Amino acid sequence: MLTALMILNGILAVFFLVAGGMKLLRTKEQLRASGQRWTDDFRPGTIRAIATAEVLGAIGLIVPLATGIAPVLTPIAAAGLAIDMGAATVVHSQRNESMLPTLGLALAASASAVLGFMHVL
């Protein structure tokens, strides 16, 4: 079970590092030009906060479990990312955009949280 959790977390961490990093490094206008129309509904500071949460969540998926230092933080990070993607699903739904990517990530992060809590408890 630990191997499956680490593989899932590795895939999720790569995704959230890339997605969050992109949001941190690009301006709101650059994100909008790249097709991320949802940014129209948010201030630049809010976009940066979302990006920071995604990057920290990605780190939280890997580091605590891999080092054995406070491994309970790994499922907490996964739960936080699931909430983030759940909120993103709502935003995309309200904008009549595809919800499948964010819904899939929410489900994957939820599975990681459940597996992680089963492992540490």
Residue 33 CA to residue 27 CA, distance in Å, equals 10
Q: What is the pLDDT of residues 68-81, one digit of tens each?
A: 999 999 999 999 99
Determine if the pTM surpasses 0.85.
yes
Confidence of residue 97 (pLDDT cuts 50, 70, 90): very high
Residues 6+ apart with CB under 8 A from 70: 64
Task: Compute and round to an integer the Cα radius of gyration of the chain.
Answer: 15
Asked whether the beta carbons of 60 and 77 are under 8 A apart, the reply is yes
